[in-house]
Structure 1
Amino acid sequence: MRDMPLDSSIPMLSVTAGAILGALTPRVAYRLSVAWGEPTLTGCAQCGGPFAAGRAGWWAFAARCASCGVRQGPSPWWTVPVGALAAGATALSLAGKGWALAAGLLLCATGVLLAAIDLAVQRLPDPVVWRLAVAVAALLAIAAATGGGWSAYARALGGGAALLAAYGLLALLTGGQFGLGDAKVAGVAGLLLGWIGWPAVLAGGMFGLFLNGLTAIVLLALRRVTWRGSLPMGPALLTGFLLALLATTLPLD
């Protein structure tokens, strides 16, 4: 089965969806930005004002508490453009790929959320990461069953396992500079990169490490961290994986 021709509206719809989900990210990130083992926030940490019950307490465009006005979560001034840019770039990279494109867009939207949480509390919550892994694997399985080929799906599983193992080993060898959460996110991204091909998996691993190192050097130079300090790796990893996707799918001419 050939790739579907790219509808010019798909990138624009993807950009719009990415922007909307980026606008919804602050409240979700705020509620999930807690220390390991602590429950999600049920109200404003500043004044104690409770969130609405059900979905309304999670999906809200407001980035400030209705009671005390304190900002809750990351600023939408960065989550909206980052979400839009990542979704648009993914749509261009996976043009006509059907369910694989859906998996890429899901990874983008959740990636913005994970980056926001990591920047806030240096955590990549397992419940979010494992749900993302299952969803991406399921969407790629549908892609394989509808013409993408099971060999590509096997390669996706191999790519995910390869990056999970590589970053997991780094987490063990660096004594905490890399976390197991970083390794798990790398494994999820490896599923999509593996679907594209082994060059994408290799590029994703290299770009992720390069951006992490570059970030550490800059922060050390600015004296924002020390040699023994730790910093959130998730945003650099996710950016590296997106760059790998672009580098290995977009034509050079």
Structure 2
Amino acid sequence: METFLIITAAVLWGFATGVLIPRPAYRSSVPDQQPWRSECPAGHPLAGTGAGWLGPARCSAGDTYGPSSLPVTAVTVVVCVLLAAATGARPELLVWLMLAPACVLLAVVDSAAHRLPDVLTLPAAAAALILLGVAVLQPEAGGSWTSAVLSSLILAACYLALFLISRGFGFGDVKLALVLGAVLGWYGWPIVLIGTFAGYLLGALYGIGLLVAGRAGRTTRIPFGPFLLAGAFAGVLLGSA
């Protein structure tokens, strides 16, 4: 019965948050240093408060914009359900569910605009560390806050080094590493290595696929954030099991 209630709550949370993603995804999917969108591509103001982050994914003319609500919501629900099924009633589940919609949003924005906005990555990193600090105080916590903090800092430092020596890495990935290191480090260093490697592997396979299909060259940059997030997601599921 407890498992059923947890899964049901995860489904409802995933749906409630997933339907809200298209609007902020559209608003923030702009080139670096550009202001957030407040109009649809046709120039109509967004429905509701144009500068707001909550509201329908349509403009005042009734046209929809941004990513399709159905697949984004479905992905968010699936992510939340898998996290709930793997983690169970442990207190860190609340942390994972809080971070899940933000991570889906980050993946969508990076896929569309090749950027990971600070307004998303830095609050997510702070929330991860603070909420895990609260979770570790609970008697049934399944991880270590100390290793989460250390992993967050070390992984960000490693990504910073890669950013400085590699053209394939963006500075947004460095800030995203603060989040990834925290959630993976919660379950220990082996999970950090597995989750990080999984992200690199997925990104490499995607890049190879584009090369084979003739859709990219050796110098083509791909959005790496979605793959890093997917790898971390796999690591958290493995660590929760």
TM normalised by structure 2 equals 0.91
Superposition deviation, residue 249 in structure 1: 2.5
Residue in structure 2 matched with residue 67 of structure 1 by the alignment: 61
Is the Cα–Cα contact under 8 Å of residues 117 and 172 in structure 2 kept in the other structure?
Answer: yes
Residue in structure 1 matched with residue 100 of structure 2 by the alignment: 108
Is the Cα–Cα contact under 8 Å of residues 195 and 231 in structure 2 kept in the other structure?
Answer: yes
- The 2-side partners of 1:87 and 1:191 are apart by 18
Deviation per CA, 1:75-132: give whole Å up to 9, x if none. Answer: 123201110111111112222221x212111221101101111111101001111111
Deviation per CA, 1:21-69: give whole Å up to 9, x if none. Answer: 11110011111112211221122232232442388x4222x43334162
Deviation per CA, 1:117-149: give whole Å up to 9, x if none. Answer: 111110100111111111111111111233467
Residue in structure 2 matched with residue 82 of structure 1 by the alignment: 75
- The 2-side partners of 1:20 and 1:8 are apart by 18
Is the Cα–Cα contact under 8 Å of residues 163 and 170 in structure 2 kept in the other structure?
Answer: yes
Equivalent residue letter for 1:20? A
The 5 A counterparts of 1:130-209 are 130-147=122-139, 152-175=144-167, 177-209=168-200
Equivalent residue letter for 1:243? A
Cα 1:85/1:50, change in 2 over 3 Å? closer
Which ranges of structure 2 fall in alignment gaps of 5 or more residues? Answer: none
Is the Cα–Cα contact under 8 Å of residues 80 and 97 in structure 2 kept in the other structure?
Answer: yes
Equivalent residue letter for 2:93? L
Equivalent residue letter for 1:59? L
Superposition deviation, residue 198 in structure 1: 1.5
- The 1-side partners of 2:75 and 2:81 are apart by 10
Q: Kindly indicate whether residue 39 of structure 2 is the aligned counterpart of residue 47 of structure 1.
A: no
- The 1-side partners of 2:58 and 2:216 are apart by 29
Superposition deviation, residue 170 in structure 1: 2.1
Residue in structure 1 matched with residue 23 of structure 2 by the alignment: 27
Is the Cα–Cα contact under 8 Å of residues 38 and 50 in structure 2 kept in the other structure?
Answer: no
Q: In terms of mean alpha carbon deviation, does 71-80 or 199-208 score higher?
A: 71-80
Residue in structure 1 matched with residue 203 of structure 2 by the alignment: 212
- The 2-side partners of 1:130 and 1:103 are apart by 16
Residue in structure 1 matched with residue 34 of structure 2 by the alignment: 38
Where 1:127 maps in the other structure, the secondary structure is helix
Where 1:224 maps in the other structure, the secondary structure is coil
TM normalised by structure 1 equals 0.87
Deviation per CA, 1:136-175: give whole Å up to 9, x if none. Answer: 11111111233467x8111110111222122222222222
Is the Cα–Cα contact under 8 Å of residues 204 and 240 in structure 1 kept in the other structure?
Answer: yes
